[in-house]
Amino acid sequence: MEKPDDAAVWRLGDGRALVMTTDFFTPVVDDAYDYGAIAAANSLSDVYAMGATPFMALTVAALPPDLDTNISQKIIRGLTEKALEANTIIAGGHTIQDKEPKIGLVAIGFADENALLRKDGLKPGDRLVITKPLGFGVTTTALKQQKAPPEDIREVVDWMKRLNKGSAELAIQFHLQAATDITGFSLLGHAWEMAVGAKLGMKISFKDIPLVSCAKKHAEAWRFPGGAFDNKLYYSQFVDFDESIREEYQMLLFDPQTSGGLLLGVPEADLDPFLAEAKRRNEPAWVIGEVIEDEKILITP
């Protein structure tokens, strides 16, 4: 329990390990099918972030007793079809009644014990690579405020439904040692977990961080969820921003992400072949900075 990794790991012997995690949440979008699919992708993400391959899951659900069965069926179908895309069987689960829908998975995967990805595996000089853009939280909050047009929602939904499967396979192929997924604690929160675990720091270039196309627009209107301010309150003490970066843009780096991408540490010698293979596989990958020895996160323009 002393190390904040993304999932629990149990050694099976012969170099094999069992990886287990769970996650569930309330709706982040209006469409029931998309909600279920996002919940599955998000739940499976921690398995991928550990360098494991999911194979089985159990559903965890809380549904209002008066919820239209057509809606609940769409939620379950979205969850199930996304799990099948990940070659993961939903073998059962448990449902209770609640006033607001909640759904997710207990996800189980297998891993090579020697190929596990850890939060504390960074080395000085590693390049920092992320595999999805930021801006999901501020955009879904704009949706709740009825201030997000359909094209904004479709963009973030497509990203949130995307599995981290391909990115994890790349990480394993290149024998990476450090990874996490970017979720509720934001880019900077999860980056700090990696930095403190390795007793190192990071230098991140703001201009190199990918954002969904509507992120700055909603940031400028201060449509951030409450979790963004909680993240800033706690993690800002570990971060130094260049004074030229506007405050609302700084907040985008504290923005909680649902089903965000992976944050990977890639050794400098492997960076070019890693990016070339990512491009060949059509897997998104952006280099946003590097690991430094100073135990601080520096954000440059």
In tens, the pLDDT along 10-41 reads 999 999 999 999 999 999 999 999 999 999 99
Q: How confident is the model at residue 3 (pLDDT cuts 50, 70, 90)?
A: confident
> CA-to-CA distance for 88 and 82, rounded, in angstroms?
9
Q: What is the pLDDT of residues 142-161, one digit of tens each?
A: 999 999 999 999 999 999 99
**What is the CB neighbour count within 10 angstroms for residue 137?**
30
- Collapsing DSSP to helix, strand or coil, 52 comes out as coil
User: How confident is the model at residue 1, as a pLDDT?
Assistant: 65
Domains observed in the chain: 8-115 (3.30.1330.10), 127-300 (3.90.650.10)
Cα dihedral value 167, 83, 209, 268, nearest 10: -10
Over the stretch 88-104, which tens digit does the pLDDT of each residue have?
999 999 999 999 999 99
pTM of the predicted protein model: 0.96
Q: Is 37 helix (H, G, I), strand (E, B) or coil?
A: helix
Q: Region 269-288: what's the mean pLDDT?
A: 98
What is the overall mean pLDDT for the chain?
A: 97
Cα separation, 197 vs 6, in Å, equals 13
3-state secondary structure 250-270: HHHCCCCCCCCCEEEEECHHH
Whether 8 contacts 52, CB under 8 Å: no
Q: What is the pLDDT of residue 4?
A: 75
